[in-house]
Amino acid sequence: MNLILIGMNHKTAPVEIRERLSIACTEGFNPLEEIKAIPGVGEALYLSTCNRVEILARTREERTDTEERLKALIFRHGNLGEEDMARCLYVYRDSAAIRHLFRVAASLDSLIMGEPQILGQVKEAYRLAVDHQAAGIILNKLLHRTFRVAKRVRTETGIASHAVSVGYAAVELAKKIFGTLKGKKVLIIGAGEMSELAARHLIKHGGDRIFVANRTHERAIRMAEDFQGVPVDFDHLGDSLREVDIVISSTGAPGYILTYDMIAAVLKRRKNRLLFLIDIAVPRDIDPRAGDIDNVYLYNMDNLQDIADDNMQIRKGEAEKGELIVAAEADSYIEWFNTLAVVPTIVSLKEKAAGIIRAELERSNGWLRNLQEEDREGVEILANAIVNKILHDPMTCLKEESQEGSALAYVAAIRRLFRLEEPGGGE
């Protein structure tokens, strides 16, 4: 199969080394051309993200030094001692390389398992390979299969469907309460980094009307400007509470900013509209008993963190299902690959032709019956002769190419043109 994958990721390489490589490629290097120039490399793909660098190449059999040359290229780009870098590199071949590529694209190998960006990055890497004419028949097929596997893992397992950050956990909860965040009003109490971060999350998901309250009103005004929101009076929070749907509180106050009585009273005035309180302050800003009030949903930092942690556990469980999908898909890809050998292709081509002749003769049985015995035989011989003549040149060509070791593309083309694709192994 002659696939080789060399790379490093967050598990094998410390960040100092990874960042050198990603800097190297943003500085105008074009590793693809360089990789292609290495003798023995037939096709290549170069993937680089914050957390990984991977080179996937299809090599020609006759060269044995391709691996060393690929590594040398990485060392050169990383501008680091060989010993340092060699420790961080992993090398996979053939089926292991395929499995690794599937795992990467399906986000099973990511730092945050199930994160969605990696598939886009793999797609981008493939697009570059196509642009540089570095992707041929094998990589084309392999990458399309990769995208399919990634999609399968995503839809058939819950690996991506649970918020694993505090911010996303809050957004998901808000959606479970309000359905949508569109048009929802958000009150931020305490202008600070934490509340700003939380607010950005909510805005990104549709929360579009922001109110800001802060003990020093000037800071509230400044932060409100950032969010195109409205600064409100810190001493009359009750009035703002009447209007809003979501409250994020993160002041440095020693006691409760929002007391039980305050919230209970405000709920009546807001005609019991649902209220989602997020208390990310330590010590807490909101009386925890407020969570017992009907239609009030109170979450503090620990609650959100617990949910994110639990979800991470769920993702890990789902990842096991993903691994099963990856293993099965890798097997089926390898099965397809093995059909690309020349001899089985010639055999199945002959079988297909023989099958067609048989079927057509049977179909014409009606009028063939009227012929003399020997005329009938003559017709059969003629049919066989025509088919064999037509197939003769393609088959000779295949055999010749296989001597030169470059039959892969022809085999793939023939399998496709004559529809010799194995069931289940096809597109």
Partner 1 sequence: MDIDMLLDVLFFRGALLAYLISTLTYIFALLIRRVSPARAATWILTGAFGLHTLFFLGAWLGKGYNPFLRIHDILSFFAWVMAGVYLAFQLRTKTRVLGAFVSPVVFLLMIISSIGIGGPLNVPEVLKGGLVTIHAMLSVIGEALFTVASLAGLVYMLQDGLIKRRKSSMFMKLFPSLQDLDRINHFCLLWGVPLLTLGVLAGSIWARTVWGSHWQWDPKQIWTLAAWLIYAVLLHQRLAIGWKGHKTALLSVAAFVLLLAALLVEKSFFTTIHRFY
Least distance CB 325 / partner 1 (angstroms): 15
Under the criterion CB under 8 A, does residue 151 sit at the interface with partner 1? no
Locate 249 and state its tokens. 């509180």
Least distance CB 189 / partner 1 (angstroms): 20
Closer of 161 and 165 to partner 1 (Cβ): 161
Count Cβ atoms below 10 Å from residue 1 Cβ, excluding itself: 16
Cα–Cα distance for residue pair 184/225, rounded to 1 Å: 18
Q: Where are the alpha helices (DSSP H) in 27-80?
A: 31-37, 66-78
Instruction: Pick the stretch among 34-42, 177-185, 250-258, 410-418 that binds partner 1 (CB under 8 A).
Output: 177-185
Active site residue 88: no
Closer of 279 and 329 to partner 1 (Cβ): 279
Could you give the 3-state DSSP secondary structure of residue 190?
coil
Least distance CB 295 / partner 1 (angstroms): 4
Q: Say how many residues touch partner 1, by CB under 8 A.
A: 27
Q: What is the DSSP string of 226-294?
A: HTT-EEE-GGGHHHHHHH-SEEEE----SS-SB-HHHHHHHHHHTTT--EEEEE--SS-SB-GGGGGST
- Contact predicate 159/153, CB 8 Å: yes
Single-letter residue type at 63 = R
Among 69, 175, 209, 215, binds partner 1 (CB under 8 A): 175
Give, as ranges, the residues between 267 and 326 that touch partner 1 (CB under 8 A).
271-274, 291, 294-295, 297, 299, 303, 306-307, 310-311, 314
- Contact predicate 249/214, CB 8 Å: no
Instruction: Pick the stretch among 178-186, 189-197, 251-259, 419-427 that binds partner 1 (CB under 8 A).
Output: 178-186
Closer of 257 and 290 to partner 1 (Cβ): 290
Q: What residues line the site for partner 1 (CB under 8 A)?
A: 155, 158, 161-162, 172-173, 175-180, 271-274, 291, 294-295, 297, 299, 303, 306-307, 310-311, 314
Residues taking part in catalysis: 50
